[in-house]
Chains A and B, each alone.
Chain A
Amino acid sequence: MMTTETLASSAVTGSRIEAGPRGAKPKTLTIARVGVYVFLILAALFFLMPLWVMVVTSLKAMPEIQLRNIFQWPQQITFEPWLKAWDTACTGRDCNGLKPGFLNSVKITVVGTAISIVIAALNGYALSFWKYKGANVLFGLLVFGAFVPYQVVIYPLIIGMREIGLFGTFPGIIIIHTIFGMPILTLLFRNFFAALPPELFKAARVDGAGFWQIFFQIMVPMAVPITIVAVILQVTGIWNDFLFGTVFAGRENMPMTVQLNNIVNTTTGVREYNVHMAATILTAAVPLAVYFISGKWFVRGIAAGAVKG
Chain B
Amino acid sequence: MAQLATAKEGGAVIKAASSSGRKPFRLSTLMSIVGTTPMIATAVGVFVICIIYSFVLSFTNSRIFPAFAAENFVGTDQYARLWSTGRWLISVNNIWFFGLLSIVANMTAGYLLAVFMDQRIKAEDWFRSIFLYPFAMSLVITGLVWRWILDPNYGIQATVRGWGFTEFAFAPLVNSSTAIYGLVVAGIWNGVGVTMAIMLAGLRGVDSEIWKAAKIDGIPAWRTYLFIVLPMMRGAILTAFILQCVGVVRVYDLIVAMTQGGPGISTQMPAVFVIQHITDRSNVGLGMAAATMMLLPVIVLLGVQAFAQWRANQVKEKA
Contacts and interface: CB of A to CB of B under 8 A. Distances in A.
Interface string B146-168: 10110101111011011000000
Interface in A240-299: 240-243, 247, 257, 260-261, 264-265, 273, 276-277, 280, 283-284, 287-288, 290-292, 295, 298-299
Interface string B232-273: 000000111011001001101100110010000000001100
A123 B253 contact: no
A151 B151 CA distance: 30
Interface size of B as a range: 35 or more
Contacts of A290: 136
B154 A70 contact: yes
Contact of B189 (A47, A70, A138, A265): A47
Contacts of A242: 138-140, 252-253, 256-257
Contact of A148 (B51, B121, B275): B51
B43 A138 contact: yes
B204 to A, nearest CB: 11
B270 to A, nearest CB: 7
A119 interface: yes
Interface of A is mostly: helix
B138 A283 contact: yes
B294 interface: yes
A153 B42 CA distance: 11
B278 interface: yes
Contacts of A142: 39, 42-43, 47
Interface residues of A, number: 94
B189 A156 contact: no
Interface stretch (A49-57, A75-83, A221-229): A49-57
A99 B128 CA distance: 32
Nearest to A144: B47
B144 A276 contact: yes
B278 A155 contact: yes
Contact of A149 (B48, B151, B249, B305): B249
B187 to A, nearest CB: 13
Interface string B260-294: 10000000001100110011000010011011101
Interface stretch (B171-179, B192-200, B311-319): B192-200
Contacts of A144: 47, 302
A40 B40 CA distance: 47
A288 B238 CA distance: 28
9 closest cross-chain pairs (CB), A and B: A240-B138, A130-B32, A211-B31, A291-B136, A156-B50, A151-B274, A141-B43, A145-B47, A68-B158
Interface of B: 27-29, 31-33, 35-36, 38-40, 42-44, 46-51, 53-54, 57, 65-66, 113, 116-117, 119, 121, 127-141, 144-146, 148-149, 151, 153-156, 158-159, 161-162, 189, 193-194, 197-198, 201, 238-240, 242-243, 246, 249-250, 252-253, 256-257, 260, 270-271, 274-275, 278-279, 284, 287-288, 290-292, 294-295, 298, 301-302, 305
Given A36-B116, A211-B31, 14 more contacts: A44-B127, A48-B130, A138-B39, A138-B40, A138-B44, A149-B250, A156-B50, A179-B46, A212-B31, A240-B140, A260-B144, A284-B136, A284-B138, A288-B133
